[in-house]
């Protein structure tokens, strides 16, 4: 499940997000990362002792950097815990498969009422008949008890293959756990940088509101002195209202992003206030595309899982074919029967049983054919996943390259827009410019900042997406053993 994907004008795209309302955060033009020290949190912000000048706060704000957010989530995210429990479940599946190969001993007892008198033991008559001949007692109500044994010796290879299938199922559960963990790390990383982007955008919008409020005071003064028309004042008020609305929208998006972050981290107390310590922008070296593709095919958990799934299906075909072979088992029983007025008469037997299917109406053939079709499906699933991995790795490289170019372009655009706004404000104050020019320059400056922060966010998200696409696991020590 991916919460954030990126789409670029160069044609790259990513899979659909897992949580729909985050789309609103991504589509909203936004932020990036302000460079600053990395705090290996969680570290509480310093809070002074309560006093008259410093009243007590309701709750402390806990600050996390990206690494501490991920470590916290790996320990507390419920979805990841469910995936780890699946591994434990499959462990018991292996125990059950081994138990199928072990002897079975059962104890049984009961009481039965017959219509006719029934012998307590089999009737054994050996000639010559005479006074010494012993007949077993006959009773209508018979109590019986005993112990039975069954030990499978051969079942067409199904016993060991059943263990093999169980072991591969556990291995697939481990791969699924690692895939869930990598999805979680990617989602947390994307959300972390989205929050950083929103905080930068909030700062830019606060500055925008302050600039417009200051400009409105000047326009209002010029209007009162008769040097500016009322239309200039109205336009400025409309632009200020729009800036206030944008700032409120960013605040709401930021609050929603923090709530989602706490949910992904697995915080039980959602009322806790948290903050992020912003990391410096990454500047990593990336290998060649072909090297990353080779790496992805060798270590992607989902690709390794589908390869194991193919082995399981091949084994299940052999298991189905093994049902045509004989079943051989050692059997035995020891027990006794008694009537209401007699003691128990013991009896026992042991031996080897051999069974082989002669006619089953095509049941075994149908199962074999079904397993072969399932195997073909898994082969196509493997091929489809291979194509998907290739596309994802290529998309990540395109995303990184595209974002880097946009970062350089938007950085220059910010400088130009800032200077243009300064000039237009100065011209308006000296009477050489118009209010429309000031508003246009202000809008261009805010848009340049927004585009720059969006490019920074896209670059960091693309880097995280590449790590996920090649199956990198930076937190392997947290993996389920």
Residue range 449-478, pLDDT digits in tens: 999 999 999 999 999 999 999 998 887 654
**Distance between CA atoms of residues 191 and 256, nearest Å:** 11
Let me know if residue 134 belongs to a domain: no
What does the H/E/C string look like for the chain? CECCCCCCCCCCCCCCECCCHHHHHHHCCCCCCCCCCCCCCCEECCCCCCCCCCCCCCCCEEEECHHHHHHHHHHHCHHHHHHHHHHHHHHHHHHHHHHCCCCEEEEEEEEEEEEEEEECCCCCCCCCCCCCCCCCCEEEEEEEEEEEEEEEEEECCHHHHHHHHHHHHHHHHHHHHHHHHHHHHHHHHHHHHHHHHHHHHHHHHHHHHHHHHHHHHHHHHHHHCCCCCHHHHHHHHHHHHHHHHHHHHHHHHHHHHHHHHHHHHCCCCCCCEEEECCCCCCCCCCCCHHHHHHHHHHHCHHHHHHHHHHHHHHHHHHHHHHCCCCEEEEEEEEEEEECCCCCCEEEEEEEEEEECCCCCCCHHHHHHHHHHHHHHHHHHHHHHHHHHHHHHHHHHHHHHHHHHHHHHHHHHHHHHHHHHHHHHHHHHHCCCCCHHHHHHHHHHHHHHHHHHHHHHHHHHHHHHHHHHHHCCCCCHHHCCC
Let me know if residue 459 belongs to a domain: yes
Q: What is the pLDDT of residues 169-191, one digit of tens each?
A: 999 999 999 999 999 999 999 99
Let me know if residue 114 belongs to a domain: yes
Let me know if residue 245 belongs to a domain: yes
Beta bridge partners of 145: 109, 336
pLDDT mean over 228-237 = 91
pLDDT surpassing 70 at residue 101: yes
List the single range of 5-14, 113-122, 190-199, 439-448 with lowest mean pLDDT: 5-14
pLDDT tier, 29 (very low <50, low <70, confident <90, very high otherwise): very low
Let me know if residue 75 belongs to a domain: yes
pLDDT at site 367: 94
pLDDT surpassing 50 at residue 47: no
What CATH number is given to the structural domain containing 379?
A: 1.20.1600.10
Percent of the chain predicted with pLDDT > 70: 84
Give the number of domains in the chain.
Answer: 1
pLDDT at site 343: 83
pLDDT surpassing 80 at residue 250: yes
Instruction: Give the strand pairing for 138-155 and 104-119.
Output: antiparallel
* Of 83, 300, 92, nearest in space to 173 by CA: 83
**Distance between CA atoms of residues 206 and 250, nearest Å:** 10
List the single range of 175-179, 285-289, 317-321, 329-333 with lowest mean pLDDT: 285-289
List the single range of 116-125, 244-253, 368-377, 427-436 with lowest mean pLDDT: 116-125
pLDDT at site 78: 95
pLDDT mean over 55-61 = 54
pLDDT surpassing 80 at residue 128: no
Cα–Cα–Cα angle for 387, 392, 393, nearest 5°?
100
Let me know if residue 2 belongs to a domain: no
Q: What is the pLDDT of residues 372-416, one digit of tens each?
A: 999 999 999 999 999 999 999 999 999 999 999 999 999 999 999
pLDDT at site 123: 78
pLDDT surpassing 60 at residue 304: yes
- Contact assessment for residue 480 and residue 84, using Cβ atoms and an 8 Å cutoff: yes
Q: Which two tokens stand for residue 67?
A: 């690494």
**Max alpha carbon distance in the chain (Å)?**
144
Let me know if residue 13 belongs to a domain: no
pLDDT at site 281: 64
pLDDT mean over 247-265 = 95
Higher pLDDT, residue 46 or 281:
281
Q: Which two tokens stand for residue 92?
A: 């018991």
Range of the domain at 217: 21-42+60-119+139-478
Let me know if residue 440 belongs to a domain: yes
Percent of the chain predicted with pLDDT > 90: 67
**Distance between CA atoms of residues 349 and 351, nearest Å:** 7
pLDDT surpassing 60 at residue 45: no
CB atoms within 10 A of CB 207: 14
**Distance between CA atoms of residues 218 and 435, nearest Å:** 10
Higher pLDDT, residue 244 or 285:
244
Q: Which two tokens stand for residue 176?
A: 């699924």
Higher pLDDT, residue 12 or 408:
408
**Distance between CA atoms of residues 78 and 66, nearest Å:** 19
pLDDT at site 6: 37
């Amino acid at each position: 499940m991916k919460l954030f994907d990126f789409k670029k004008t160069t044609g790259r795209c990513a899979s659909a997000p897992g949580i729909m309302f985050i789309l609103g955060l991504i589509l909203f033009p936004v932020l990036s990362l302000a460079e600053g020290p990395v705090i290996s949190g969680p570290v509480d912000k310093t809070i002074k002792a309560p006093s008259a000048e410093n009243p007590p706060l309701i709750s402390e704000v806990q600050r996390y950097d990206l690494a501490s957010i991920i470590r916290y989530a790996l320990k507390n995210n419920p979805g990841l815990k469910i995936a780890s429990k699946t591994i434990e479940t499959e462990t018991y599946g292996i125990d059950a498969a081994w138990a199928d190969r072990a002897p079975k001993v059962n104890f049984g007892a009961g009481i039965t009422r017959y219509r006719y008198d029934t012998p307590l033991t089999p009737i054994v008559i050996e000639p010559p008949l005479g006074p010494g001949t012993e007949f077993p007692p006959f009773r209508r109500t018979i109590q019986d008890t005993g112990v039975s044994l069954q030990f499978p010796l051969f079942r067409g290879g199904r016993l060991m293959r059943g263990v093999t299938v169980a072991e591969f199922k556990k291995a697939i559960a481990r791969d699924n756990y690692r895939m869930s963990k990598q999805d979680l790390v990617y989602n947390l990383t994307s959300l972390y940088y989205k929050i950083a982007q929103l905080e930068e955008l909030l700062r830019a919008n606060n500055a925008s509101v302050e600039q417009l409020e200051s400009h409105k005071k000047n326009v209002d003064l010029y209007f009162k002195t008769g040097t500016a028309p009322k239309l200039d004042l109205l336009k400025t008020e409309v632009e200020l209202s729009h800036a206030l609305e944008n700032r409120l929208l960013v605040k709401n998006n930021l609050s929603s992003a923090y709530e989602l972050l706490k949910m992904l981290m697995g915080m039980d107390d959602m009322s806790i206030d948290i903050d992020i310590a912003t990391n410096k922008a990454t500047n990593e070296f990336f290998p060649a595309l072909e090297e990353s593709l080779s790496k992805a095919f060798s270590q992607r958990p989902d690709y390794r899982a589908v390869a194991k799934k193919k082995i399981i299906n091949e084994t299940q075909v052999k298991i189905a074919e093994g049902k045509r072979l004989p079943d051989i088992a050692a059997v035995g029983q020891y027990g006794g029967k008694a009537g209401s007025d007699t003691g128990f008469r013991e009896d026992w037997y042991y031996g080897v049983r051999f069974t082989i299917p002669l006619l089953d109406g095509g049941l075994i053939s149908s199962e074999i054919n079904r397993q072969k079709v399932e195997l073909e499906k898994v082969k196509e699933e493997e091929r489809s996943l291979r194509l998907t991995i290739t596309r994802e790795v290529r998309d990540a490289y395109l995303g990184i390259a595209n974002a880097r170019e946009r970062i350089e372009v938007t950085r220059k655009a910010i400088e130009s827009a800032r200077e243009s706004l300064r000039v237009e404000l100065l011209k308006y104050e000296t009477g050489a410019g118009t209010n429309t020019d000031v508003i246009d320059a202000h809008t261009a400056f805010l848009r340049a900042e927004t585009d720059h922060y969006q490019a920074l966010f896209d670059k960091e998200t693309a880097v995280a997406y590449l790590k996920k696409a090649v199956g990198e696991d930076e937190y392997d020590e947290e993996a389920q053993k």
